[in-house]
Every structure is written in C-alpha cells, then in structure tokens.
C-alpha cells in the first residue's frame, strides 16, 4: 500500500512536469519517475530507521529504580515461595515435571552473588534411576560396619531395623512421585581465589533460594530443600557417587522437585510481618 502511494505521488508529480514543460518523450517521463521514486523511498527508509531506533532505545532502557510495579512483583514472587512436602505430591497419575522447569531453576541459580571468578556451587540432577541408586546407597552405608550405631540416631538394633524397613519402602512410596532430586554441592575452591568457607556456603544457599523462588512460579510443581540423612550424606560413599573430587567440598543436601496435586499454595503459618521488628535493629 505504501509503495503504491509513492508511485502514485511520483506519477502525479511527473504528469505536472510534462504538462508544464511539454515533456512528451517517454524516456524522459521514465527517467523523471525513477529519480522521484528513488528519492521518496530513500527518505521513507531514513525516517523508518530513526523511528525503529527510537523504539528499540525505549524498549531496552533499564527499568526505573523507583518502579513500584516491578518491586511489587518481586516481593510477590518471594511471598509465594513455598516448601511443598511429599504429602502434597501427585500420586498415581504418571505425571512428571518437565526438564524445562529444572533448566529454569538452574538458570535462576546462576544469578546468585558469589566471590571469585567461578560460582562455588555445583548441582547434580538425579533422575528416577539415579534417585533410587542414591537411596539404596544411603541404606547400604548404614548397614555396612554397623554405621547406624555411630550415627547415634537409634537406641538399639530393633529401632534401626524399623527405620530401615520404613526408609526402604519410601523409595517407591514417599519419594515415588518425585521427578528429580538435585544434589547441592558446595565447592570449597571453585576458582583461583580462596575465600572463607562461610562465604562459599552463603553463596550456595543464595543460589538454592533463587531456585526455590523460580520453582514456586510454576502452579502445579513443588519441592523443598532436604538436608537428607546426615551421616550418609557426609560419607565417602556419597562423595564418590556425586563425583566430589576436593576433600573440602560438601554436600548440603538435596532439592526435591515433584508434581503437585493442587495449584493452591500451602498455608504458611508463620507471620512474616511479625518477624521484622524481632530481627531488625535500626541505628542512626
């Protein structure tokens, strides 16, 4: 449509010239049309380019630091973060959490703060078979050399036997609906700069918080950070299973990811507003 308008305008202009100067030669008319159309198209392209540049500049401009809507959406995302436990996982429907959900969680983790040139966290995403292997490893660890006694969790062998039977049943029961368990590993020295261990742990925890907030943005998926069974988690067997090469690296547990029965957020019984005066001190 725009091209037709240009041609029409050029034709009218040339017609005026021929009437005025009696330019009856066809090639003169053609030459005049070509010059006028080229000039008008070039002018239009220049104007269009400037308009696009202005649009891109406006769209790529960073949001205002005083953008109330942006702050509100961030706070809302934090408020809606929930730890969802196995009692609320979807059972018997064959549902699985898409891999794209975990990919988005890992991307969110990358934006956590850390010192040095490389992040101190490392995640090992366990699927169905790897989750089963990890749980069987946990049971073998406590069985071998009666490590259950050193753990100090059970009063006697009978108590341990009851726990073991229950835990073995959880492989297909409690943890059956789970799509992924993400091992959370803190690398003691990821880069060339060595920083205090507590800083590496804090950075890793911040990355997990980012993952958790991102997971909570999906309506039918849930999960939580499990510390797992501490003696097995800290064992040499688990280190080998997770390919933890540095003896100072630490496994900080597993993040559970599973489909949920409902899209409603579980109730948070703790009043966050009440925590502010209890946990904050202002000084001049």
Contact 211, 109 (CB under 8 A): yes
26 to 19, 23, 32: CA distances (angstroms): 13, 8, 10
State the chain's mean pLDDT as an integer: 80
Q: Give residue 77's pLDDT.
A: 87
Q: Sheet harboring 221-226: ordered strands across? A: 121-126, 180-186, 250-259, 221-226
| Coil, strand or helix at 214 | helix
Q: Give residue 177's pLDDT.
A: 96
pLDDT digits (tens, 9 = 90+) for 110-147: 999 999 889 999 999 999 999 999 999 999 999 998 89
Enter the pTM of the model.
0.73
Q: Give residue 257's pLDDT.
A: 98
Q: Give residue 239's pLDDT.
A: 97
Q: Give residue 265's pLDDT.
A: 65
Spans of the chain below 70 pLDDT? 1-66, 263, 265-266, 269, 274
277 to 80, 161, 247, 269: CA distances (angstroms): 22, 47, 41, 18
What backbone phi and psi angles, to 5 degrees, belong to 36? -65, -45
Q: Give residue 65's pLDDT.
A: 56
């Amino acid at each position: 449509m725009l091209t037709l308008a240009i041609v029409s305008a050029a034709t009218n202009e040339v017609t005026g010239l021929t009437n005025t100067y009696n330019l009856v030669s066809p090639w003169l008319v053609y030459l005049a049309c070509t010059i006028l159309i080229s000039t008008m198209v070039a002018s239009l392209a220049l104007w269009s380019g400037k308009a696009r540049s202005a649009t891109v500049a406006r769209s790529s401009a960073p949001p205002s630091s005083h953008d109330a809507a942006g702050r509100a959406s961030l706070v809302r995302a934090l408020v809606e973060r929930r730890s969802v436990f196995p009692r609320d996982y979807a059972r018997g429907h064959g549902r699985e959490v898409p891999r794209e959900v975990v990919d988005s969680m890992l991307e969110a983790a990358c934006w956590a703060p850390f010192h040095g040139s490389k992040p101190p966290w490392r995640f090992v995403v366990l699927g169905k078979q790897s989750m089963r292997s990890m749980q069987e490893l946990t049971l073998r660890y406590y069985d071998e050399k009666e490590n259950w006694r050193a753990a100090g969790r059970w009063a006697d062998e009978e108590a341990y036997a009851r726990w073991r039977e229950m835990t073995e049943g959880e492989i297909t029961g409690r943890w059956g609906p789970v799509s992924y368990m993400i091992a959370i590993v803190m690398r003691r020295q990821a880069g060339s700069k060595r920083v205090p261990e507590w800083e590496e742990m804090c950075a890793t925890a911040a990355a997990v918080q980012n993952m958790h907030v991102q997971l909570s943005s999906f309506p039918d998926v849930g999960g939580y950070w499990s510390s797992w069974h501490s003696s097995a988690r800290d064992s040499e067997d688990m280190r080998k299973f997770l390919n933890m090469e540095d003896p100072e690296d630490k496994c900080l547990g597993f993040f559970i990811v599973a489909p949920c029965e409902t899209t409603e957020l579980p109730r948070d019984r703790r009043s966050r507003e009440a925590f502010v005066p209890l946990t904050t001190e202002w000084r001049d």
